Structure 1
């Protein structure tokens, strides 16, 4: 199929998502008749061709202004077609810098910031994080971008501004031009800036989605005990640690010395469990600090170090349910179960380690169903000592029928004398609920 037919029938055939790059290169090389084909499709003059996302991307990815002007005309002709306007603006995520700069000026000159698709698009490009915002703010943001693109020599001054909008957009334009050049600015803001400027630097770093830019800043932020700064650093830091748990990239990494100790000691030193910060850096931005996220980061840095694991486990019962579940998944592996029902389908054949056995007995008393179900999954085929079985006694006080059913199933598999002793002790010391459970246990045992 010729390149002309690929373009003409793009809405009817399955072109690859990167095909627009080939078309852009062909446009820039001046392939005869190609610009005319695009123009005819844009103005609905071609008998078959229809405007598609790939066609818009090809024009915007080009380095020639005449191609951008076609998209400009399409955008201005969109009028009430919000969907078309959104498609055009979304395509600017994968565009040439020249086209982005040109289209930003089009938005300003034609006062298009009043449209919701424009507001969403600018938010997507910049990562500012607004759901909806006043037109004056949106216009201010985009005018700042245009100004820095036009005069990139003013970026350094913009980064030092007291106005957070100016600082952020100076960083953003520099990031578009060359993201590596934002790194010195970010470190300076984190080291010498106010709490607001430190938070802004961390916010921007997260939007780069470049771990080699982000993590050195987050690591440095751990030295700052201000909860607002940590609220901007810790969630994304933990997400990077989580993503690299299996590779152990950050564990014992010499670029981040004593990483576990830094995180763990900081978590211990902070008394507040959580704190929400509203309207920080930008009026629409809210962030939340949660101490458990620091502990989650510590868990991700444990690796094979048993001393670190023991240190974290000291706080286990005080963790949130989500964090207890995360740690249990890590420690029990294939024995982890989301519910009692899942246990019926879990055909784990491996023998639990001594540590897993002891940990299961510990979490058996937890109130989280997945944790208790996981403990049951570890213990269900084991021969338990009489001392270990004493853990079960308190649990028979609970009204949870699923729990008691699973505990009874484990008990029935034990040696007869252990069961007799367990029943005698529970009846002697237990309440009515426990005694009724023992009656049920004896009935089931007699049917065995």
Structure 2
């Protein structure tokens, strides 16, 4: 729990820092870097400026080379860089050259922010840093060790000689697949011209024959091909390179191209200006061709430019495969904060268009076109219930899975702490209490645990004691035991039945309440017995 709270607090701190950076001016940013990095404040301040305007904004394992100068997303990445790099450098009052030497000796996840700092030093014509990086790449430095920071610094800088060094390092990798992978994993962060040079290098040297290169290209362009598709990927990469070098051709493809052409064109345009690419993509959401609509939706999603108002349009799309992209923004536990017009009723309407089983019918690419099962969508309804009454679930319970019903009951439990349950809600709770899935029934018992049962509800509980689930029976008996006066009557009723499970429950109920049960006879054998001493 403490780790979870720490993570939440850190996320809140980073969000606040991103807001500050997004609205800051150069004076404030200089003050921040003076505070965080007093030993190389100027270089850090220029790195921060580059993160806000020049470097790609995407983060994470599936990041792409998207840029949107001045957008809030750049501020989020800058805030993360500022925080993580400060965590690494704060304990070492050393200059930038010292960190360049020792970055490879740090855990890679800690040193990842240093590469951009070194890239800025190269742009500032710091020959000492460049010399250390060059010697590190050539294994000539007596202390420094190779790491991700080296190709990251070389490629993210604006120095052509640094790009040439990175290219040579890649070609010299030979059978060192690990080194090749490290280099390719930093190419998406490269300067735009360095990125173009690497695409040319890949095609010229046929580097797609290496698995690390193929995987990297997949990540850069949002693909999922494998080694059996090298010829196809080579053609797509050449097409993407053409669009990067000729943005006007890319815009033409957006207007008139096929689904594949549209996708690659929008993707490459987003590497220059994701906001402009998103504007073009949004106009295609009503295109007649579902493949072009899917291309637009995929690019909007990949660039993090999918706005709340786009989601209802996707959910209502004639092709249910596009609606799945919007529906996945919600799961049974929570809705993402940008779900906008994605409402309870909209999801119900989408679910009505789906079948019982999930299907896959490829659209645009082989891996796209998944259609969820109806239950998968209905299970997400608890996240969008909002202020609606709990009984809004009633028409949809039969289509929900046990997990979805359990989530709905957990939501009801939270509501119960705020106000008492009304009669229709209690009726629905009794329905869920009778669910054949033990986990659902047990969750319903937890909700009912604080209720005083009405006579008709007691009848439901007595019948349920025919079941053998130990946890369910224990909860039901405790529920009956809340009414000490009625417990003996209910126990007598249970003991008078012919069902063994119910008679056992009757004895357990008396033991739970400490009530007398002398001379109680079984309807089957009628032996005289006493269940309590004395």
TM value normalised by structure 2: 0.71
Among 215, 218, 222, the residue aligned to 2:311: 218
Among 282, 300, 319, the residue aligned to 2:365: 282
Q: Which residue of 1 aligns with 2:503?
A: 435
Distance 1:302 1:436, change over 3 A: closer
Indicate conservation of the 8 Å contact 1:186/1:205, yes or no: yes
Alignment of 1:45-444 (within 5 A): 45-130=140-225, 133-160=228-255, 162-212=257-307, 215-236=308-329, 242-244=335-337, 256=341, 259-268=343-352, 270=353, 272-296=355-379, 298-306=381-389, 309-333=390-414, 353-355=420-422, 360-416=429-485, 418-426=486-494, 431-444=499-512
TM value normalised by structure 1: 0.83
- Tell me the distance in 1 between the aligned counterparts of 2:195 and 2:498: 74
Bigger drift between 142-151 and 429-438 goes to 429-438
> Structure 1, residues 109-137: CA drift from partner, whole Å, max 9, x if none?
11010111112111222222345551112
Bigger drift between 424-433 and 175-184 goes to 424-433
- Tell me the distance in 2 between the aligned counterparts of 1:366 and 1:315: 14
Bigger drift between 356-365 and 387-396 goes to 356-365
- Tell me the distance in 2 between the aligned counterparts of 1:22 and 1:55: 11
> Structure 1, residues 268-313: CA drift from partner, whole Å, max 9, x if none?
4x2623441233211344512333454355543332233xx43333
Quote the RMSD (CA, aligned, Å).
3.0
- Tell me the distance in 1 between the aligned counterparts of 2:330 and 2:221: 20
Indicate conservation of the 8 Å contact 1:386/1:422, yes or no: no
- Tell me the distance in 1 between the aligned counterparts of 2:201 and 2:118: 24
Distance 1:441 1:299, change over 3 A: closer
Distance 1:207 1:18, change over 3 A: same
Q: What SS class does the counterpart of residue 213 from structure 2 fall into? A: helix
Distance 1:384 1:283, change over 3 A: closer
- The Cα of 1:208 is off from its aligned counterpart by 1.9
- Tell me the distance in 2 between the aligned counterparts of 1:404 and 1:274: 33
- The Cα of 1:10 is off from its aligned counterpart by 0.9
Q: Which residue of 2 aligns with 1:347?
A: none
Indicate conservation of the 8 Å contact 2:101/2:143, yes or no: yes
Indicate conservation of the 8 Å contact 2:355/2:374, yes or no: yes
Q: What SS class does the counterpart of residue 314 from structure 1 fall into? A: helix
Indicate conservation of the 8 Å contact 1:61/1:96, yes or no: yes
Count of residues paired in the alignment: 419
Indicate conservation of the 8 Å contact 1:412/1:419, yes or no: yes
Q: What SS class does the counterpart of residue 354 from structure 1 fall into? A: coil
Distance 1:292 1:95, change over 3 A: farther
Q: Which residue of 1 aligns with 2:91?
A: none
Distance 1:300 1:437, change over 3 A: closer
- The Cα of 1:148 is off from its aligned counterpart by 1.0
Distance 1:146 1:241, change over 3 A: farther
Q: Which residue of 2 aligns with 1:339?
A: none
- Tell me the distance in 1 between the aligned counterparts of 2:202 and 2:332: 35
Structure 2 runs not aligned, ≥5 long: 1-93, 517-534
- The Cα of 1:68 is off from its aligned counterpart by 1.4
Structure 1 runs not aligned, ≥5 long: 336-349
